[in-house]
């Protein structure tokens, strides 16, 4: 069966500090990978998606970047965090073909002070 991991689970960072969140998927190969942010209003906003190693597309211009160094590894980064970067970050995967459901990880709660 497939499993998706995210770490850390919670993170408190000062404004201006760097960020690195990691997501790994087990039990599948060549998945589509996604980063979402969920603000207090509960809606999920797609940030980045990747259809393969080194292939990253951004949905929303922002202070964040993403990388996919390995097939089942997805990293969300920032060089300098802003207060507005606080939120619940979720990684998800789906099978390569469209029309398939996405499966979410446990999430990372980020608080920027």
Partner 1 sequence: EDQVTQSPEALRLQEGESSSLNCSYTVSGLRGLFWYRQDPGKGPEFLFTLYSAGEEKEKERLKATLTKKESFLHITAPKPEDSATYLCAVQSLSTSYGKLTFGQGTILTVHP
Which residues bind to partner 1, rule: CB under 8 A?
6, 32, 34, 41-44, 46, 49, 51, 57, 59, 90, 92, 94, 98-107, 109
- Cβ at position 96, least distance to partner 1 in Å: 9
* C-alpha–C-alpha distance, residues 31 and 13, integer Å: 30
**At 32, which helix (H) or strand (E)?**
strand 32-38
* C-alpha–C-alpha distance, residues 103 and 108, integer Å: 15
Q: Which two tokens stand for residue 22?
A: 């990691």
- Cβ at position 51, least distance to partner 1 in Å: 6
Compare residues 34 and 74 and give the one whose CB is closer to partner 1.
34
- Cβ at position 17, least distance to partner 1 in Å: 23
Q: Which two tokens stand for residue 105?
A: 């990880």
- Cβ at position 88, least distance to partner 1 in Å: 8
Residue of 17, 26, 80, 21 lying closest to 47 (CA atoms): 21
Compare residues 26 and 59 and give the one whose CB is closer to partner 1.
59
């Amino acid at each position: 069966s497939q499993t998706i991991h995210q770490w850390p689970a919670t993170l408190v960072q000062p404004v201006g500090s760097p960020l690195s969140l990691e997501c790994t998927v087990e039990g599948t190969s060549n998945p589509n990978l996604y980063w979402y942010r969920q603000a207090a209003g509960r809606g999920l906003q797609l940030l980045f998606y990747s259809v393969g190693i080194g292939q990253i597309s951004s949905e929303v211009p922002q202070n964040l970047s993403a990388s996919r160094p390995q097939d089942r590894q997805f990293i969300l980064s920032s060089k300098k965090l802003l207060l507005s970067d606080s939120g619940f970050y979720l990684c998800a995967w789906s099978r390569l073909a469209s029309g398939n459901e996405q499966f979410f990880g446990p999430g990372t709660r980020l608080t920027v002070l």
